[in-house]
Amino acid sequence: MQHFLDLAGWRSEEIRELLDLARFLRLEFKSGGNKPVLRGQTLAMIFQKPSLRTKVSFETGMNQLGGAALMLGPDEIGLGKRESIGDVARSLSRFVQGIMARVFAHEVVLELAQYASCPIINGLTDSQHPCQALADVLTIQDHLGRVEGRRVVFIGDGNNVAFSLAQAVAHTGGHFAIATPPGYELSEDNIESIAQIASANGSSFEAYQDPVKAVRDADVIYTDTWISMGQEADSARRLQDLAAYQVNTNLLKYANRNAIVMHCLPAHRGQELTDEVMDGSHSVIFDQAENRLHAQKAILVKLLA
């Protein structure tokens, strides 16, 4: 039994196989429909955080593969409050063939995996977002042909999305750079994890404070919200600290002429990026959103079929 919790727990070869599978399943679906390889299988979806893309893509993916999905919100479970995480994992494992969890603390998915007798998928935690990162590198491959040798630059807060993206880029041979204000950098543990993956794939990692220096020769410019769920009380300070890190047409001038712009959504237009960029010719943001479906179907087939 395998879990999908953290990209560091998968070999680079396995990540490349998942990307190949995602492309196959996408082509199969668009050529008439996926084979019902998950018929009779049910995925339980645990949500502590609101969701649009995660809920719809996992539920739709299970349906297209012949299975079913059940959404369980915070009021229905109360992880660690109404019932212990271990007891939830043990109980759900008797009913379903897989569990996807979109939660706050990463320790929750680790504890679910410790006690569950079915695969656990990390749909998002405060420290990691591996499903998004798999869709991201799939999108880069779609538009640029490959990730290997490409310069992928993240601008803004060194958050969970940035960390998982850096791991995914390292797995696929790309060069990752990040520009953050002081105090918003990736942690030393994050950087060590990225470096370990990168060393085996000819990848590299660079950190900057100046966004202009970071995006020079960029093939991909990626940004994310400056205020994630749970950080609302700190909004004023974060908006001030990150104001110089907006992705706009002026910043794009320093990237490669054919660079693509990415965002995992939801976007706060006028903050981390402008309407002109999000709706412009460089944006692949909605292709990226669609690829959540295809990348996650690959994960589901790999773990449940």
Residue 185 lies in a domain: yes
Same domain, 116 and 213: no
Three-state helix/strand/coil letters over 258-281: CCEEEECCCCCECCCECHHHHCCC
Residue 230 has pLDDT above 80, yes or no: no
Among left, alpha and beta (phi > 0; psi -120 to 50; other), residue 167 is alpha
Range of the domain at 35: 7-129+290-304
242 pLDDT exceeds 90?
yes
Q: What's the confidence (pLDDT) of residue 261?
A: 99
Q: Do you find a cis peptide bond into 182, omega within 30 degrees of 0? A: no
Asked if residue 62 and residue 141 are part of one domain, the reply reads: no
Do residues 275 and 269 lie in contact, with contact meaning Cβ atoms separated by under 8 Å?
A: yes
- Mean pLDDT confidence for 94-99: 98
- Cα separation, 217 vs 253, in Å, equals 10
pLDDT digits (tens, 9 = 90+) for 39-51: 999 999 999 998 9
Say if residue 161 is in the same domain as residue 122. Answer: no
Do 61 and 147 belong together in one domain? no
Q: What is the mean pLDDT of residues 5-30?
A: 98
What's the total number of domains in the chain? 2
Beta strands in 83-230 (DSSP E): 98-102, 120-124, 151-155, 175-179, 204-208, 220-223
Please indicate, yes or no, whether residues 237 and 135 belong to a single structural domain of this protein: yes
- The CA distance from 190 to 167, in Å, is 9
Task: Over range 7-36, report the average pLDDT.
Answer: 98
Which pTM value belongs to this model? Answer: 0.97
CATH of the domain at 80: 3.40.50.1370
The tokens 């995914």 sit on which residue? 168
Q: Considering the domain boundaries, does residue 77 fall inside one? A: yes
Tell me: do 13 and 147 sit in the same domain.
no
Does residue 231 sit in the same domain as residue 157? yes
- The verdict on residue 1 lying in a domain is no
d(CA 221, CA 218): 7
Assigned token pair, 132: 């998004």
Q: In angstroms, rounded to a whole number, what is the distance separating the alpha carbons of residues 301 and 37?
A: 8
Instruction: Give the residue numbers annotated as catalytic, written as ranges.
Output: 102, 129, 132, 224, 264, 292
182 secondary structure, DSSP code: T
**What's 188's DSSP letter?**
H
